[in-house]
Structure 1
């Protein structure tokens, strides 16, 4: 309510209290104006709360929330954030009664798996036609839409490597050399999307027999499997381990902050996955969810995606990201998302049977 209107109403009420004569018509008008003004103010302040499940790195979420709510002041984004595998498992557990309104920034392989379960509401965001169709579900309208790619890489601590007289690894196979025994950390693919894209890529590049044989050799040198895709790089940056199998965004971030790490794209090729979004089926906030979807394909959104990731869905937007391996895009494998989604559970079960003994304890 405006201050002048509030002051007028209070003045009339004081007059009534003192027994002074009051113009009833004027008073009624004032009250009506006050009610309308209060209602308009209430409407202006009303926000629709969207529960959004995400695997986007925690240090990026505040900026995304601010940008989204600046463009859509009627939205209140409430993130539920965890690693890809944990979020995927949570969504599957809630399948009978989904709680999220939108799944945003989750691996496309996970979204394909969930889409097969009938989890999502198809929707073509305004402007989706401006994206590279490679990064958008082929259904019409699409069930999911890609945002940006996160790409496997090695975080190599040059200081710790020099102390241990370790050679600089340039290939995946280098990590199976005896010199690296106990000096490599990688993510558990059951809980980490980065871990899964690694395993999926090795199997796609080399086939099942050679892929599992490579992982057997790598396992001999693994110190621990973490439940976070970024943790191996953080540990390498902190000097806790010489080599962390992680992803390029986190490596570039750590190097930019001054850590003595090199970010390496192995020569054989690197796995990758898309961060993507989809609207949960039967959400009671469909209009608000569509607004978030529309925002997520805008030029502004893609420019924000590019602040940390070198490959985004909108052509012509991406600029080089500091400390990314300059040739990493050329090393991205031809990723078969459909194959990865279809075989995900079988791959994870086989991986657990072979290697889970070295996984860090779950919290």
Structure 2
């Protein structure tokens, strides 16, 4: 069965209308939004356990990959979707892009992260959250105070010093917008984002890039994935990522 060759990981599922040619060639095309630096170790581990299968990655941000999968619905180019947001997986299933699939060891997964509907087609292995990535050295040079809440980021003193992912293309950015709307309420949430937009230096295509830019000193503040901030924090002396107060989210959570 093909499912014995499918990767075990975050939000793994098979696509409908699989092509036998791909498996005959022993190459599996996997669409993913996971960060590039994570892919090599998963590819190595999977191919070691499945020496007759080779993975071909196609990687982009969540919004781009979701749009690509929907556009290819009637002519699928991939066998596997791996590492997209739960909201995207739910949409893909609703549109008939995914087929039901039950991985081995499903009983060991957290049911709250899995497809909650009948005939589940996707499964998750983690929930992540966002954080404010703050470069203390840059802030000191520019006389910027340390923010202690999301509301602080609307202070005009931060104008031109903040970056965040574009919610139109980045799942991380979309998650953040959803979290603000859940936290503040719809009316107040949109008003908050309108004020925050005035302080934005730019929006990025990548979900992790704002934290990377903060670490490199390109901006003082990056709104991004906390896990990326935690990794970068160990490499830089004068910056920090401080998740403190949890905010509402969907399958991914936003925090400060």
TM-score of the alignment, normalized to the shorter chain, above 0.5: yes
Counterpart for residue 188 of structure 2: 210
Whether the 8 Å contact between 2:133 and 2:221 is mirrored in structure 1 is yes
Task: Note the residue ranges of structure 1 that are not aligned, 5 or more in a row.
Answer: 1-45, 275-328, 334-363
Counterpart for residue 154 of structure 1: 132
- Could you give the per-residue CA deviations for residues 84-132 of structure 1, whole angstroms, max 9, x where no partner exists? 1111111111122111101001111111111110111101111101111
TM-score scaled by length of structure 2: 0.85
Counterpart for residue 175 of structure 1: 153
**How far apart in 2 are the matches of 1:249 and 1:93?**
31
TM-score scaled by length of structure 1: 0.61
**How far apart in 2 are the matches of 1:138 and 1:191?**
25
**How far apart in 2 are the matches of 1:193 and 1:74?**
33
Task: Note the residue ranges of structure 2 that are not aligned, 5 or more in a row.
Answer: 1-23
**How far apart in 1 are the matches of 2:187 and 2:118?**
37
Give the greater-gyration-radius structure (CA): 1
Counterpart for residue 290 of structure 1: none
Whether the 8 Å contact between 1:172 and 1:266 is mirrored in structure 2 is no
Work out whether 1:188 is the aligned partner of 2:203.
no
Q: Which moved more, 1:238-247 or 1:138-147?
A: 138-147
Counterpart for residue 123 of structure 1: 101
User: Structure 2 matches for 1:70-109, cutoff 5 A?
Assistant: 70-109=48-87
How many residue pairs get matched? Answer: 233
Q: Which moved more, 1:135-144 or 1:55-64?
A: 135-144
CA distance 1:236–1:202, shift in 2 (3 Å):
same
Whether the 8 Å contact between 2:183 and 2:248 is mirrored in structure 1 is no
RMSD: 1.9
Which stretches of structure 1, 4 residues or longer, exceed 3 Å deviation after superposition? 270-274
Whether the 8 Å contact between 2:215 and 2:239 is mirrored in structure 1 is yes
Counterpart for residue 143 of structure 1: 121
**How far apart in 1 are the matches of 2:246 and 2:140?**
25
